[in-house]
Structure 1
């Protein structure tokens, strides 16, 4: 979470002569494949195009890996390439274990942009016979949706309708149930910042999902000038300020836009206001 702290405190890290040369998408993909082949020798990998891999395993197992998020994270700090690839490739172990039982106590809500499935469709255009996965989701507001997933040790597993039906969980209670789980899944919620401008840290995967925890969005927790306003450019970045703090909002606009365009797991460049029950797009 160093990225959030740097942005909140204005400690932007610029490139220097000691920075390694940034790999192209094609070079990065080839390096990624070599590591995957060593880690999972029983899986066959085919590069469909830069940042898109097809993996085949077992009798009928097949999955497509999209490396765009890992590549964007790598470009933020090229020195960390080994750590980034190690972390993302570790998540594939769960993907190849299709029969692993879902732990209902680890089901969590994930905030995504409303065009999330269109993004998946675009990514899948390069894959023959690609079908958009039938995930479990619901709208949050006009700009955002909630997609349900299982938090696993090395990955986030987005389960489909068929998997969900086996769990015998009421769809009507899923949101409340998953928010309760989120409280136990996230390691710790930490508030950073001062003078009416704050950020949240919660492990790196679920910061934006904290907007669903209605009990934390109070003036006691966030002493801002006016109503509570948030910006969520990426899934691990939540900026908080007040509706009357025009100077802070103007400064944040540039930071939010840059974070959205250069960071991984992008969500939105918009701002949202707390209405006492949920966040509305401004």
Structure 2
């Protein structure tokens, strides 16, 4: 259907290789002193010589581009702008901007698979902890144009108490996100908070009350992508069943996929059901 629609509209969808070439042309102009190499479609390595190298994985940007092919230049511009901070790893981390980011438990395995084509690729030793058996919390620094995932070595230089890291990062998140909006009615709701941290809101214990979400039974959520939080009640079988196709489609076609599972609020955190 999508291919047919694009044909009717006269919009050509670039292949992964074509998109990678287009992306490379954009970042090469922005950083002309960096040497780039396409490792495979959607994987570009940037070499800084003595200052090391980084790898750009374009799977999320390509996935978003396919959802709106006419926005090719805008999509590449936005993602390449966001990657600019990757070239500034020596900048001091602002501890007041450290936030918790929810990821699937196989996140590092995904990174390993994405980097498998890069010689001597090592999974970055990020700062993280387990949330439940299905999800983890990865700590990052919120910056103007991107989310900076820092390493364990970088974190240790900050002299921050690891015990209070989660509590402090949730407080930072509350200051970072724009106004949190609840949408929906009749026991079915969603959350809007700027597009980057909707799923991280599951860590804010004070918002998960029946006063805020009048649902049938315990609060149940689905989080197919980082910007989508569907909320209903554990006794509302029709709503849960109705959500299944939407959740699966969002997970398969959206950006920054999280999970197709459902989670129930136990009063302190969400558990997989």
Superposition TM-score, scaled by structure 2 size = 0.96
1:34-183 alignment runs, 5 A limit: 34-57=25-48, 59-183=50-174
Aligned-pair distance for 1:57? 2.1
Question: Which of 207, 217, 233 is the matching residue for 1:242?
Answer: 233
2:93, 2:63 → 1: CA distance?
Answer: 30
Question: Which of 202, 206, 211 is the matching residue for 2:202?
Answer: 211
Instruction: Say if 1:19 and 1:78, in contact at 8 Å, map to a contact too.
Output: no
Tell me the C-alpha RMSD between the 2 structures.
1.2
Q: Deviations over 1:95-150 (max 9, x none)?
A: 11121000000000000000111111111110000111111100000000000000
Instruction: Say if 1:228 and 1:242, in contact at 8 Å, map to a contact too.
Output: yes
Is there any run of 5+ residues in structure 1 with no aligned partner, and where? 1-13
Structure 1 residue ranges, 4+ long, deviating more than 3 angstroms after superposition: none
Question: Which of 239, 244, 264 is the matching residue for 1:273?
Answer: 264
The number of residue pairs the alignment matches comes to 269
Instruction: Say if 1:230 and 1:238, in contact at 8 Å, map to a contact too.
Output: yes
Aligned-pair distance for 1:257? 0.6
Aligned-pair distance for 1:188? 1.5
1:188, 1:201 → 2: CA distance?
Answer: 8
Instruction: Say if 1:233 and 1:266, in contact at 8 Å, map to a contact too.
Output: yes
2:20, 2:123 → 1: CA distance?
Answer: 23
Instruction: Say if 1:189 and 1:200, in contact at 8 Å, map to a contact too.
Output: yes
Superposition TM-score, scaled by structure 1 size = 0.93
Bigger Cα displacement from structure 2, 74-83 vs 27-36: 74-83
Partner of residue 186, structure 1: 177
2:268, 2:97 → 1: CA distance?
Answer: 24
Question: SS at the partner of 1:277?
Answer: coil
Partner of residue 186, structure 2: 195
Partner of residue 25, structure 1: 16
Is there any run of 5+ residues in structure 2 with no aligned partner, and where? none
Aligned-pair distance for 1:202? 0.6
